[in-house]
């Protein structure tokens, strides 16, 4: 069986795309999505540690026929757009070089998510390209769609902020979220490809646990976005790691600024997300299997006995929580239909 | 290899014990624990649906050599104590018959957990032995140890209340819990042996989901116990089902009645549980694998950025969350060391 | 988010298709594949037990928008083709009715796999439509492609025969297989949607076991096909159930009729399967994750120390092992490209 | 909750025991078993990489209260016995030093399993203590019990040889095994604690695969032992890795030297293993969950359609396949009941 040596493009590509950092989970998926995208041409997928290996050698379930190469920032001619899947801190200088070469940049790291420099430094340390700080558009598509159409540099949100903020947005936009406690959980792909005892199959099977209980850097990001929507609410946040690969759930206990009954809250959600191509408002709680390998976000909301709202946002953490949303935004930046290559 | 045909008792048994409803997960484990207990003699393990089958035929990982029989309430002579693992509603009449025959009763169902009749009826329907309602002792050992020594009928707490209340007790006892939101999660053994699409391996692997989001009957039980401890706090509660067998975690976001820093709260926990044989106060968040197949409860508490406490209680849901705690209490009722047969 | 109410057809459909028995794992997948197929129109998906429910209600990860209905054999007008996912025995009479109404039939059951009536009866009992016995074409596409183009009734092979025979075919066709012992393993989707203790998540996690060790009915089917290819070899066969959902591996120890070295055997395989759209000859042993949710078969062969060949055939048991291969064959029957709707 | 600071010994210890290499899976389990053993005193558990850490910090599910230290071969006074869990090659020199200091040695590595020097070198390279080569007793307890009582240096068998040889021994002892093909499978604890992509939870979940298909070094070990028993049969061997932690199955297709029916073969097995404390002859195929965390081996044998025997041997790979069997043998070497500390 011969894989096609070239991508299945339909007509001239809308952009020639580079994926930087394609040996990790999110970079590899970004390369895989771009390869199958009918309007994007994958011109390079780079990796320092795995240069020379085929992507399908690292990820046998992917089908993109491309060999990983080392990134050469001096040879960016002909790159229209780049998806950068580097660690926090390392991404910003690469983004800067790519922008300088004229490429549109979709950054999957945290480097441009936060808009307050002090908060960034507290959680991530010194910024790698201070001159660009604050110039990225926050890539939570459903909230920043119009800005994204014009964007040159996009900060793809963290996976937990994506699930949490989409789960709370209809309330937050109305100023209704007074406080929120978020219990989130995700599979081991969210931990990354780094190998240590924690994610060895023998450690993780039949296990589950909270982590970063003294402070996770996605918390200030969630607070930033709830405030931007109109609800400057304090957020308590605890993530958990689960014995599954892809999938993430944010269970959000929200104190409401004013009393609302279940029907009213559910109507608000249905109305807010009507017509959204990737957000599905469910009639009951979501489950993770239903959205594995999709760019969807499933949302459900209810009101509990004592009047608090409980909102659930569920995603595939490496799709809508990272690479899928990255491509969704790149589509917008290029004037394409935002669902292209993602269904 | 021949299993010993008789139990490995050390000397005369302290009690001859019947386990009723031994074909379900908690009843089977209760029979298994009693079989290996050095001071208890397992005289019968009953099951209507599986009478005639060996326990090890249903549960190949258990080693108790006993054939399941039908319960005959007319022949209870010589039964000193019984563990009743019946569904809610069906347990109470059997408990009544066993009490009438003079047996000590440890009930694993919900029938005697709630102390308010109206609340019971709202969540469980009509009670099966109204004359006994309110006469059981709530079997959360660490909170009711003295009463349990004198008890004749014990209501083993629900698994979620066990994890949640042990996680919050040191705060609740001081009147410090003003409000609490609990995100809990457990493995499929908590769903019971009933087979349906939800727990088919093909449905559950790579999945996780919240359930009973419109109201779970363990919530009023948690409120009852927090109030009894001194913190009549409103509780929001959401359980999740995880792709693992045994294990349960309660992640509790508690608003404190007065501000306390992390050190103070952690000291409170260490002090409260010093000397407890089955509660371990950890220095970091618990994980479920560490306590599988044990009667332990692992507890951790911290204080988050905005001053709320986050308390974690982790157990094996069929051990400390059901059968293990049942035997722990039976030990007390019989004047034995409460750890006997459980380490 | 609104699912499209109608199928994403590209132009006039090549056939209007009925899927009978769409509530089980293979029938549901057949309906899902047909729904997304650019040239097939899914006109009905039937189920006695779940009529009235949406397919996505039973299988949240599927996206086909269709409500299950009861099959009415008196109203088959306008059905060009049917995929029948009934239990063995029950399928044949339905196939007969569908054939009588002029529909092409792809049967996923065992009813037309065996060509010897006595063997059929020994393993499956009385046949449900004796007048049709022997009239089906065996749907192992790579071996019977030309016959399948003309077929009106196709017997989709068992999953184990698909993996085993594709794993052995290049040797068997040359008369080189003298004897073979097959150790096969598959996930719980192969066990079917029926719920019992065996496939409860709590039974299956951290477990694996052989089953049907005294005789599995896929063994005579494998012998039939090896003989048809030119190697009438005795087959020993043991299947195992694994703690995963989709995926199947046949590990085949073959005594060779004449000595061949590793290079020669591997060359034989590469040559035999060159150009096959769904069979991939690997350079090392296959893994199941690489082909989940695909119609591919991954094959690897080597020669061990003592001169025996070891051939591996790996598939997704509900795709190439059932519904995917069913649609592959239906494509051929309709004169379509056999990969249509399957990539 | 306070763990006991000292071991729960009953009376004077029969031996003071060192475990060398206690940070890996088998060494850690050996330390855990020795700690809970009523007659052995665990005086040290050593590890170069993790010296200074508590064993329970590395393995939260273990309860032994011991801190890992560096091994100092100059200070072995007072060590009566050692269990050495070093990699192949590195173990032999340490064994030699321990023997020189007068300690009984149970080696968990391959260094003394093979009795033919040339075969050792082919599969493992140069030997680390040639002067000791051939002086170890092969520690498959059920076959070498009497020699083990007198042994000073014991080579614990490989996990696959343990399962395979116990599965075949009753036939092999009678000279009945003419040829055998073994398909074996085990969980990820058999892969060891080393972390790489293969055993990351995200790689392994929903996966399974054969490995070392061009030759696994347990094959010559199995051939050696079958020959020693009386059946010098050629062995074909393929191991598979499964998505579970602990558990291993050998499925052995044996050509019989003379025809035997199922009853005769099954009688042979029951008779051979009658009275064995850890081998259980089942009436049907084994499953891995039934023996997790035990030192048992479950065996089943049948005869298939064409007259071949199919024998199954199942174990927990780190218990009977390594550390449990190591302690079983140490018990014998010390004149203790061989089940002590293992039930």
Q: Which one of D18, D66, D159, D342 is the catalytic residue?
A: D159
Residue A6 predicted with pLDDT over 80: no
The answer to whether B297 and B320 are in contact (CB under 8 A) is: yes
Q: Which one of A66, A114, A154, A159 is the catalytic residue?
A: A159
User: pLDDT at position A41, please?
Assistant: 97
pLDDT tens series, chain D, 343 aa: 556 667 888 888 999 999 999 999 999 999 999 999 999 999 999 999 999 999 999 999 999 999 999 999 999 999 999 999 999 999 999 999 999 999 999 999 999 999 999 999 999 999 999 999 999 999 999 999 999 999 999 999 999 999 999 999 999 999 999 999 999 999 999 998 887 889 999 999 999 999 999 999 999 999 999 999 999 999 999 999 999 999 999 999 999 999 999 999 999 999 999 999 999 999 999 999 999 999 999 999 999 999 999 999 999 999 999 999 999 999 999 999 999 999 8
Positive or negative, the Cα torsion across C40, C46, C50, C52? positive
Interchain CB distance below 8 Å, D58 and A188: no
User: pLDDT at position A4, please?
Assistant: 62
Q: Pick from B200, B289, B318 the residue to mutate for testing the C interface (most C CBs within 10 Å).
A: B200
Q: What is the mean pLDDT of residues A320-330?
A: 98
Q: Does B5 touch chain D (CB under 8 A)?
A: no
Do strands A297-303 and A309-315 pair parallel, antiparallel, or not at all (unpaired)?
antiparallel
- Provide the 3-class DSSP secondary structure of residue A127: coil
pLDDT digits (tens, 9 = 90+) for A92-141: 999 999 999 999 999 999 999 999 999 999 999 999 999 999 999 999 99
Interchain CB distance below 8 Å, C243 and B187: no
Q: Which one of B45, B106, B153, B159 is the catalytic residue?
A: B159
Q: d(Cα C188, Cα C144) in Å, to the nearest integer?
A: 29
- Give the DSSP per-residue string, C163-176: HHHHHHHHHHTTT-
Q: What is the mean pLDDT of residues B174-200?
A: 94
Q: d(Cα D40, Cα D12) in Å, to the nearest integer?
A: 9
- Burial track A323-338 (b if 16+ CB lie within 10 A, e otherwise): bbbbbbbbbbbbebeb
D chain contacts of residue C214, beta-carbon cutoff 8 Å: 302
Interchain CB distance below 8 Å, C200 and B205: no
Q: d(Cα C169, Cα C264) in Å, to the nearest integer?
A: 15
A chain contacts of residue B242, beta-carbon cutoff 8 Å: 208, 242-243
Facing residue for C188 by CB, picked from B187, B202, B243: B202
B chain contacts of residue C204, beta-carbon cutoff 8 Å: 201
pLDDT tens series, chain C, 343 aa: 556 667 888 888 999 999 999 999 999 999 999 999 999 999 999 999 999 999 999 999 999 999 999 999 999 999 999 999 999 999 999 999 999 999 999 999 999 999 999 999 999 999 999 999 999 999 999 999 999 999 999 999 999 999 999 999 999 999 999 999 999 999 999 998 887 889 999 999 999 999 999 999 999 999 999 999 999 999 999 999 999 999 999 999 999 999 999 999 999 999 999 999 999 999 999 999 999 999 999 999 999 999 999 999 999 999 999 999 999 999 999 999 999 999 8
User: pLDDT at position C1, please?
Assistant: 58
Q: Does D273 touch chain B (CB under 8 A)?
A: yes
Interchain CB distance below 8 Å, C202 and B245: yes
Q: Does C189 touch chain B (CB under 8 A)?
A: yes
Q: Does B277 touch chain D (CB under 8 A)?
A: yes
Place of tokens 């709590």: C202
Average pLDDT, chain D: 96
Residue B286 Cα distances to B163, B293, B311, angstroms: 12, 15, 11
Interchain CB distance below 8 Å, D25 and A202: yes
Q: d(Cα D30, Cα D35) in Å, to the nearest integer?
A: 9
Q: d(Cα C71, Cα C102) in Å, to the nearest integer?
A: 16
User: pLDDT at position C6, please?
Assistant: 76
C chain contacts of residue A279, beta-carbon cutoff 8 Å: 1
Interchain CB distance below 8 Å, B1 and D292: no
| Residue A118 neighbours by CB distance under 10 Å | 8
User: pLDDT at position A5, please?
Assistant: 65
Q: Does A277 touch chain C (CB under 8 A)?
A: yes
C chain contacts of residue B28, beta-carbon cutoff 8 Å: none
- Chain A nearest-CA residue for D23: A197
Facing residue for A61 by CB, picked from C276, C280, C292: C292
- Provide the 3-class DSSP secondary structure of residue B230: coil
| Window C:194-213, CB contacts with B under 8 Å | 195-197, 199-206
Q: Does C61 touch chain B (CB under 8 A)?
A: no
Positive or negative, the Cα torsion across C215, C219, C221, C223? negative
Q: Pick from A122, A215, A243, A288 the residue to mutate for testing the B interface (most B CBs within 10 Å).
A: A243
Q: d(Cα A236, Cα B181) in Å, to the nearest integer?
A: 11
Facing residue for B205 by CB, picked from C193, C196, C244: C244
Q: What is the pTM of this model?
A: 0.97
Kindly provide the ipTM of the predicted complex, given to two decimals: 0.96
Residue D191 Cα distances to B244, D113, D152, D242, D243, angstroms: 22, 19, 29, 10, 12
Residues 6+ apart with CB under 8 A from B158: B110, B113, B217, B218, B221, B321
Residues 6+ apart with CB under 8 A from D314: D163, D247, D248, D249, D250, D286, D287, D288, D290, D291, D297, D298, D299
Segments of D65-155 assigned E as strands:
81-84, 104-107, 137-138, 153-155
The yes-or-no answer on residue A159 being catalytic is yes
Facing residue for D276 by CB, picked from B1, B205, B290: B1
B chain contacts of residue C197, beta-carbon cutoff 8 Å: 58, 193, 195
A chain contacts of residue B235, beta-carbon cutoff 8 Å: 306
């Amino acid at each position: 069986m011969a894989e096609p040596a070239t991508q299945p493009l339909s007509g001239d590509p809308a952009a020639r795309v580079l994926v930087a950092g394609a040996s990790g989970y999110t970079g590899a998926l970004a390369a895989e999505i771009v390869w199958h995208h009918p309007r994007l041409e994958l011109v390079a997928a780079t990796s320092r540690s795995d240069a020379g290996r085929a992507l399908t050698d690292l990820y046998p379930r992917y089908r993109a026929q491309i060999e990983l190469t080392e990134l050469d920032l001096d040879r960016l001619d002909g790159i229209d757009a780049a998806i950068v899947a580097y660690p926090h801190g390392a991404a910003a200088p690469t983004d800067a070089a790519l922008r300088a070469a004229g490429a549109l940049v979709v950054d999957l790291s945290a480097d441009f998510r936060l808009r307050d420099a002090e908060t960034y430094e507290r959680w991530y340390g010194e910024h790698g390209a201070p001159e660009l700080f604050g110039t990225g558009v926050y890539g939570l598509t459903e909230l920043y769609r119009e800005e994204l159409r014009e964007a040159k540099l996009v900060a793809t949100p963290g996976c937990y902020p994506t699930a949490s903020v989409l789960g709370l947005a209809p309330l937050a936009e109305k100023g209704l979220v007074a406080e929120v406690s978020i219990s989130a959980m995700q599979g081991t792909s969210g931990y990354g490809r780094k190998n240590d005892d924690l994610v060895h199959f023998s450690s993780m099977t039949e296990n589950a646990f909270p982590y970063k209980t003294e402070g996770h850097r996605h918390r200030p990001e969630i607070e930033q976005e709830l405030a931007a929507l109109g609800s400057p609410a304090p957020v308590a946040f605890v993530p958990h790691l689960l014995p599954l690969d892809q999938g993430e759930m944010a269970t959000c206990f929200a104190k409401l600024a004013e009393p609302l009954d279940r029907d009213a809250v559910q109507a608000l959600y249905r109305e807010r997300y009507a017509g959204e191509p990737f957000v599905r408002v469910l009639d009951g709680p979501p489950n993770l299997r239903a959205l594995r390998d999709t760019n969807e976000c499933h949302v459900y909301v209810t009101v509990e006995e004592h009047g608090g709202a409980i909102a659930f946002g569920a995603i595939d953490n490496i799709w809508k929580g990272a690479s899928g949303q990255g491509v969704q935004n790149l589509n917008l930046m290029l004037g394409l239909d935002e669902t292209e290559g993602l269904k």
